[in-house]
A and B are shown apart, each in its own frame.
Chain A
Amino acid sequence: MTDEMETLQEFTDRDYKYGFVSDIESDSLPKGLNEQVIQTISARKKEPEWLLEWRLKAFRLWQKREEPDWANVTFNPVDYQDIVYFAAPKNLDRPKSLDDVAPEILDMYNKLGIPLQEQEVLAGVAVDAVLDSVSVATTFKEKLAELGIIFCSFSEAVQNHPDLVKQYLGTVVPPGDNFYASLNSAVFSDGSFVYIPKGVRCPMELSTYFRINAQFTGQFERTLIIAEEGSTVSYLEGCTAPMRDENQLHAAVVELIALDNATIKYSTVQNWYPGDKNGVGGIYNFVTKRGLCKGANSKISWTQVETGSAITWKYPGCVLQGDNSVGEFYSVALTNNYQQADTGTKMVHIGKNTKSTIVSKGISAGFGQNSYRGQVKILPGAVDARNFSQCDSLLIGDKCGAHTFPYIEVKNSTAQVEHEATTSKIGEDQIFYLNQRGISTEDAVSMIVNGFCKEVLAELPMEFAVEARKLLGVSLEGSVG
């Protein structure tokens, strides 16, 4: 054993023996939310005064609001005073080794083909000992720095690039936008910050996975991505492995800004713990994501594969302000067992010649309830706007539900808006046909579902697409037969 490993071993043995780790534990705040908590968070992070003020303003807005209840989901009320709003990245409940991780989770990692070392990182086992990940992240960051690209944690950005943060924070999702955005703006923990300078094409996919400290700060994540004129970036959030978190509520905010001729592609694969087979537990994933196509000819694409969480409530959308700007939304949302999803998008056409494309694939199995909610808004000045929306639902079994709530508001007569919707079932005939060719029912369902989602999966960066396909198969286990 190397020296580093021995030290770690001693350290973790000490934890176990005494049941606590002194200095790390004192970093966590007690439960509850009030102005002092926010001041403490801001102080711990050594934030500038303006940011503390910004948080406090958001908090006061939040206090005046009520939790919205119009979504097609039901859940036990969240007790906002029963949450710890600042938890240290290293906490006590992390497993000491893979042996301490629940077998179902290990099973899933294996099915998804995740290498053992990665499994350790994902399960939160002794991150510091996973040396390879650190060295990968370092060389990668050097390459980006040469191009002038900034990719760091949000907290680091506040310290090192405060002007940029101040200029853009809250310009796409203002703190008063909605209940959860207000909460997030008050207590956000960390997230990603990306800045691509003029004319630069980011040469690699930026992934949250490379920010090792990304785990366990996911509860109130705040992300800001800025693409200057003529730049391009593809960003990948989340992972296919089941992410377990003791915190039930996840209220993230993501803001994207694309200036003239810039393109931002934002892909998400979300597999947060969905609750058990009886619908007990599971994460509430209430997210506000919005992209501002500020410049002319700018483009923002959202691609999401949502298979986890007990409840998914999010509408990644685009504001098409710049002339000729393009917004896209490609989504696969899967609900199995007792999961619920109310997800979709908002496309707001403001500039001239703007175009939006929406392809939403909802898969319901078990007792899952899946709702698509979309808003296409064409404002009076949006001349020659075009939208195409396609919402397809696939039902597996006869106890699940698929619902569609499309809203279309057109205030300019030159607009062209198209909406198509289909609902289908996986036929037993189809499964039997595949069975009769030697393919198991599990694989058959997986093939059919992947075929159903093809268009959306094609939008994901390649390696992610491969993982996403496996993930869909694994998430549907037990749904047929």
Chain B
Amino acid sequence: MLNVHNLHASINGNEILKGINLRVNAGEVHAIMGPNGSGKSTLASVLAGREEFEVTQGSVTFHGLDLLDMAPEERAREGLFLAFQYPVEIPGVNSSYFLRTALNAIREHNSKKSLGAMEFLKIIREKLELVEMDEKFLKRSINEGFSGGEKKRNEILQMATLEPKLAVLDETDSGLDIDALKIVANGVNKLRNKDNAFIVVTHYQRLLNYIIPDYVHVLYQGKIVKSGDKELALHLEDYGYDWVKEQNGAPVEDQV
């Protein structure tokens, strides 16, 4: 479904991604782990199409399409979803209205008819149950006054509603307590099927106890330096990232 080939990306002239190669097929869950500054969030941002990052080399195809050539909203309509690390607040814009507009934009792109307010309400009620959120959240402006946990659950709610083919979760677990984490993971697990795929970007292994990955990749200094299965994540949990840094020629001072 997703084929990332030799991807290089910079911001303000600094190269962050230095040749990423990644292949994700339908039905798979890939975890991307790595120490701070390794480029995890940059990878997520570049896939979503954030303009601040400049792709200097490489290619990304998303079920056959040239992803890098598409505007962010086009990528979304093709089925790419990014669960933001820090979801922004948009005062004045009603959450329910926003989500229905987004869903209809995607449906229209896929030649499906738009949903009216009542039809949408039926659908959204199911999804709310999935993330254990109350209907009253829909009446509020997007993320306005939401706690950290509520914002993250709202990301999963949106993911559940928009039903993307590929969902990139950018450190969705950061700032969450164990209960919120379980709710988020549960939501993701219920959505997993053989036709979609997930890229879970995380710093800690903890989330991966609940969202069991098929593959784990370690990102260090802009490159994927090691790939394995869920055992790799457990190994990182026990031993940290030092050995990764060592193995990849980092100077001793860099090893904390």
Contact = CB atoms under 8 A, between A and B. Distances in A.
A434 B92 contact: no
B93 interface: yes
B82 interface: yes
A454 B91 CA distance: 11
B71 A435 contact: yes
A437 B88 contact: no
Contact of A436 (B72, B92, B97, B109): B72
B162 A438 contact: yes
Chain A CB within 10 Å — which of B49, B88, B106 has the most?
B88
Contact of B73 (A428, A435, A450, A452): A435
A439 B92 contact: no
A390 interface: no
Given A437-B162, A441-B73, A454-B92, A432 B50 contact: yes
A35 to B, nearest CB: 53
Nearest to B84: A433
B158 interface: yes
A448 B105 contact: no
A432 B48 CA distance: 9
Chain A CB within 10 Å — which of B73, B98, B158 has the most?
B73
Contacts of A451: 90-94, 141
A448 B90 contact: yes
Interface residues of A: mostly helix, strand, loop or mixed?
helix
Nearest to A435: B72
A435 B98 contact: no
B228 interface: no
Contacts, number: 75
A447 B101 contact: yes
Given A432-B50, A432-B72, A451-B141, A437 B102 contact: yes
Nearest to A454: B92
Nearest to B107: A438
Contact of A437 (B97, B98, B109): B98
Interface string B62-92: 0000000001110111000110100110111
Interface string A133-154: 0000000000000000000000
Nearest to A444: B73
Contacts of B87: 433
B76 A437 contact: yes
Contacts of B50: 432
Chain B CB within 10 Å — which of A429, A434, A437, A451 has the most?
A437
A427 interface: yes
B90 A430 contact: yes
Interface of A: 427-430, 432-441, 443, 447-448, 450-452, 454
